[in-house]
Structure 1
Amino acid sequence: MSYLIVLPHIQVENANAISGLTYGFPAITHFLGFTHALSRQVQQSHGLRFTGCGVVCHKHQVQAYQASERGDHYFALTRIPLTREAKTAPFNEEGRMHMTVTLFAECEGSIAHGDTGARELEQHLHTLCVAQRLAGGTVTAMKPVRVMALPQNGDELQNITRREMYRALPGFALVDRSELLAQHFTERQTQDPQAEMIDAWLDFSTITFRAEQQEDDSVQWQYQPKLAKGYLVPLMVGFTPISPLYAPGDVAKTRDPSTPFRFVEAAYGVGEWRSPHRVTDIHQLIWRYPAGTEHYICSHAKPLQEADLTEQDHSDF
């Protein structure tokens, strides 16, 4: 049986704001890792397993400041103590942020003792959540956890989706739109066979102006609309291998010498921040990580279709 676990309004301090080449919000792998850690604990205590996670952000505050008139922003870094030689110690730059998010976890299994067991599970999950870190940040508070049965389709599923999405307001849900990246890359290749995927990806993250000559021979800079409608953002969606799979112990200084090891690099896609009240099926909000494949690319089990977009969704941002 499937259940929906709602972890509402989790307040996190000093979460990681840098994800590979992107910054401003943690990678989706952080949230799937958080629910996977919960899954491992409730699997031992309750025999349940979390299979996916949806994310709605209510508040976010990147710890940065504007240091010049040009508008350049810099991360507010923690002061590192001096070395014994009274010199500044070397360190890696860390981007931090505060945020409030609601997570929707899809759960498989059977909850014993009906409503009583569900209430006990809610208390147990609340205790686990506040004791864990989310995206490297500290969980300071959260609202009571909700557990409910999750039908796969039908009117009941629509009612649950509508109720939970309106409860998630105000906020924005993060959905996968990587199919737009694949489509745009194909179009670029038809025009330029030497085009690379990184160029297509940067087209979704850059703000473009073009100089257009006017009738009086003057030139004005005109903003160029994005490639597609919606609040589209570049997104880190997982990892892809760059080396063969080494046997346990072949690579020195690994975290777990008893587990096979492989070198990987970050993989990127395109996401969209969408108002929750425009989500018509909660399964379209659930991100999942793959199993049994070489590439660790997170995506939706039920991809968003163009038919799911309303006229309001096509408004230009």
Structure 2
Amino acid sequence: MTFITISEVGPRDGLQSIKPVMPLEAKKAWIAAEAACGVPEIEVGSFVPPSLLPQMADTAELVRFARGIEGLNVVALVPNAKGAARAVEAGVHGFSAPFSMSETHSIRNVRKDHTQMIEEIRAMGRIAAEAGAHFAVGLSTAFGCTIEGAVPQATVVRMAAASIEAGAKELSLSDTTGYADPAQVRRLVRAVRAQVGDALTTLHLHNTRGLGLANALAGLDEGITTLDASLGGLGGCPYAPGASGNLVTEDLVLMLNAMGYKTGIDLEKLLKVRAILAEALPDEPLYGFTPDAGVMMDYQERIAQ
């Protein structure tokens, strides 16, 4: 039975995409509750200036809290070497850096072109190595960009190889704008893996146009072993108002468990965690079909096979 790691990114990707600031105690309750369901990895926040993202101002405290939960892999997002230094100081097990495959997007987002970003990745790699932390790079806008449109596959492959050479230990392909389709996922995963091998482990998918689960399955068929997801699809997508954001954790767990993949996550317990979000963020929409429909009558028989 194949184990698929589901990495919960809601406390970072979900919360940074909405206006309300979730109270610290509610964040802690959310993280603890998901860990108790068997979620193996949680991205608890990002190390960015609080003036830019006040939603992430308490990330260091969340790292310290989450490190006290046995068996949980605690990770965070960092935009640059300064953020990487703050992350290792806080005690993360690992951190990831976003590297936009659309150079125009990269310049607008972090004010660095591709050459400058590779040097920043090199600096982050040194920080991770010295601290004994795991360092991953997320190849964002890999499937398309709202500024440039299509991103050449050759660019993604070349930047993936450059990231590994600069010190990244692991890569993910990120559908930042919700442009991916299953055929494109298969093509790009194959092309990148032909260059970097098993260093490509992860897909970060959005459900903007309803293709999230289909794209996840395409990735699994190509050997992907980690999928990012957000409880309740929290956060939405800034490029498509009204659309859900990341893959909905609950729907993803249902699909994988029912198909016979091993996730280690108790779905019935996970569905109850939504109440924490609903109480702390009453005006934010929560997405997902499974919470409304419930599990199938033969769900337990399916996962027991």
TM-score, normalized by length of structure 2? 0.29
Larger Rg: 1
More helix by share: 2
More strand by share: 1
TM-score, normalized by length of structure 1? 0.28
Q: Which has the higher contact order (CA 8 A, sep 6+)?
A: 1
